[in-house]
Amino acid sequence: MALALFVATVPEAVGQGTDPYAKPRAALIAELREQSREGAGTATRIDPAVLAILARVPRHEYVPASERDNAYENRPLGIGHGQTISQPYIVALMTTLAAPRAGQDILEIGTGSGYQAAVLAEAGAKVHTIEIVEPLAKQAAQRLRRYPGVEVRNGDGYYGWKERAPFDAIVVTAAASSIPPPLVQQLKPGGRMVIPVGSSFFTQTLLLVEKDAGGRVRTRQILPVRFVPLTGGP
């Protein structure tokens, strides 16, 4: 299957004029801060720097017009084509676990609306994001034009993006039945991958996969989650 590549290169102003979403966005950040504080352990706490990023990214611009009034509720929302934009707490947690830093190369599998890619880009990372549903890939590329360091590709994320590998971090926003070997191979030594894994919607677990300097892989369970399934692959 031919792959289409969309490169986000046109800067765009954000938040000009009065922002009618400022109050609900602030309320969401306060809710996430409290939810993080009440977390069962350090693995489920949110980095305050990540909360600051979520406070800057306009989530309402990454959802359908019919969902904009719900954009700052702490829950997933439908974006069409059987896909969703993840719950803000999960976006914040996955970003915290990925630990993006300026200048890093990060692979995202499952662009969806483009929201998670925007959050990673706001951390200063170069984001290479793959979406298997072509209309969503095209929409996300338009939304992400403000970030020169973001590339959007229409293709099968199971196999990663070999031409851009290796990656400092990989963020997978759809549940795989097992960890895809190509993604492990494309992870740098010292890198980390955040991925939901489970054979059914009700048995998924968010995993943190870390590769040490010697190439050995360690996997840690974080918490139960529910994601749309990862499509494609063998």
22-48 pLDDT, tens digit per residue, is 999 999 999 999 998 876 567 789 999
> In terms of Cα–Cα distance, which of 154, 125, 118, 150 is closest to 2?
154
Rounded distance between C-alpha atoms, residue 110 and residue 196, angstroms: 12
Out of 36, 66, 86, 113, the active site residue is 86
Q: Which domains does the chain have, with CATH numbers?
A: 20-225 (3.40.50.150)
Q: What is the pTM of this model?
A: 0.91
- The sign of the CA dihedral 189, 190, 196, 199 is positive
Q: Is the pLDDT score of 157 beyond 80?
A: yes
Contact yes or no for 84/98 (Cβ under 8 A): no
Q: Can 86 be counted among the known catalytic residues?
A: yes
